A and B are shown apart, each in its own frame.
Chain A
Amino acid sequence: MDKIKGHPLSSGGKIQERNKKEKVWWKYMVSLVIIVIYLLPIYVLVVMSFKEKTDFSSRLLLPDYLYLDNYIKALKEGGFFNALKNTCFVTALTVGIIVILGCMAAYPLSRNRSKLNRIIKSICMGVMMIPSLSILVGVYTEIVSMNGVNCFWPVIVIGAAFGLPTAILLYSNFINSIPSSLDEAAALDGASPFKTFWHVILPQLKPVTATLVIQQGVGAWNNFVYPSYFLQKPAKYTLVLLIRQYFGTADSGSNLNGAAAVAILSTLPIVVLYIFMQKYFIQGQIDGAVK
């Protein structure tokens, strides 16, 4: 259990004891309201995924029976496994590039504060300010000219490029806290800069890498903007694009219950990861906010 420092309720005394009991009861009520408000949309999604296409009963009601066909159809013919494969591939490569190039870049930018390097660092931070859609026309025409449409590499490379500034920021802040005397000792032993980095710095970066992998991994998994422009053939769809395909068909012809099943299947991996590794998600959120 984490340590909590709160406004301490005063200790001892019968009246305080009674007040404490009333206070806690109030908290349970509020907790219940919060949980209902936050889980309602998710509950509706789950409930709908187990209903037949023609079942127009209230979305709040549990289904009469568990209709599994939505899931079976999604897994067999719905293109789910293909999209899952694509998403895993894109996510793994994007995160891999961000982590590897990011820590490598952070090392000299943290250790060597020359004027040039400070300018370079500012450029990296400046890139963080550029909205994805501001450069849409420039990026799209560039990728088209490189024959990149319907390929995975533009999505991976652009996703990585947008994720690098955060990685560099987090890594360089962390490396700042590693005493440079360690570097100097390695240098005295004749190690090249890269060897110093590999043997001395890299092993210590694990905590940052862990939170970065989770933070950037979730971002890459859920990424919609550029995949929607570059991955136009259904065979290349990532899970987000599959979701859009299922939800996007015209109102009359759509099978929203089937779409709900696809959505649940697509989000399940991340949610499971979240339940088991909540600590890393929370830590990543905090790290991302500290300047």
Chain B
Amino acid sequence: MKKRKNLQNLMYLPALGLMIVFIVYPLFRGFLYSFYKWNGYSQNMVFVGFKNYLDMMGNQFFGIAFWNTVLYAVLGTLLQEVLGIAFAIFLNSRFTGRIAVRTVIYLPVIISALLIGYMMTFLFQYHYGVFNEILQWFGMKPIDWLRDPGRGRIIISLVTGWHYTGSSMIIFMAGLQNIPDMYIEAAKLDGATKWQLFSRITLPLLQPAVASTVLLNMVGGLKIYDSIVSLTNGGPVQKTNSLSTLISYTYFTSEKAGYASAIGMFQFVFIFIISFFINRYFAGKEVEY
């Protein structure tokens, strides 16, 4: 029996091997590199201890990238939660064209984030952009949407929301299906208003869906990379960077491999901690009637 179990265990060795060689091992190497000053290709690596981390904490561009990342994640998630639930409820009753609306809302999810960004530049470009064109119809002046850091950041968050709301919506639709009609009927008999139905029954029973979507959306938002490359490329002057684009810039453009590794380690630990707290928060909120 033992022999059988051991043979059976052999079956996960290939998968485990692949993950260890190409993900876990680089993680440890990155951790080591973060303590060195190195340009990424020369033989010359100087041990500097925690200097990279200290530099990081005091660095203006790191601070900007960090808070940008938090904004992108929080605003993006907020949009996806609110719109996701709204769309799911909207589509929960039968009407002609319901499937068409669902199809259209989910469609962006399968398009690459890079392309989504480029498509949005067609709308937000200063010259010939659709939104500036619309502004000019009303006699208003064109706005430089993407090259202003404040506006650029909001746009990046909104684009993320537009892109992925469909996926949250689908999860909420599944969650709504799991709410027994019986509860709604009983509450209606007791004279509950629409708002009471939503806040006292629907929303609490959607908690598992909210928990899953918040986790997925927050983690996804904290890792954001592709759409920033196509929308602003981190600009102007690295002011719309996320942690991910900062790492790439620092490693390939600034040629600071050790420092880039340090940012990478920070990003990993930060996302890990956030996931932990999100899970903890929602674990205590299971509701049963």
Contacts and interface: CB of A to CB of B under 8 A. Distances in A.
* Majority DSSP secondary structure for residues of A touching B: helix
Contacts, number: 288
B260 interface: yes
A95 interface: no
Interface in B183-226: 184-185, 194, 197, 209, 212-213, 216, 219, 222-223, 225-226
Contact of A137 (B5, B30, B181, B185): B30
A287 B98 CA distance: 22
A218 B115 CA distance: 14
A124 to B, nearest CB: 7
Which of A41, A135, A225 has the most B CB atoms < 10 Å from its CB? A135
B122 A44 contact: yes
B4 A132 contact: no
Contact of B133 (A9, A59, A105, A131): A59
Chain B interface size, under 10 / 10 to 19 / 20 to 34 / 35 or more: 35 or more
Given A108-B11, A127-B24, A131-B268, A38 B112 contact: no
Interface of A: 4-9, 24, 27-28, 30-31, 34-35, 37-42, 44-45, 48, 56, 58-60, 97, 101-102, 104-109, 111-112, 114, 116-117, 120, 123-124, 127, 129-142, 144, 157-158, 160-162, 164-165, 168, 187, 192-194, 197, 218, 221-222, 224-225, 229, 240, 243-244, 247, 256, 259-260, 263, 266-267, 270-271, 274-275, 278, 281-282, 285-286, 288-291
Interface of B: 4-5, 7-9, 11-12, 14-16, 18-19, 21-30, 33, 40-41, 87, 90, 92-95, 97-98, 100-101, 103-116, 118-120, 122-123, 128-130, 133, 162, 167, 170-171, 174, 176-177, 179, 181, 184-185, 194, 197, 209, 212-213, 216, 219, 222-223, 225-226, 229-230, 243-244, 247-248, 251-252, 257, 260-261, 264-265, 267-268, 271-272, 275
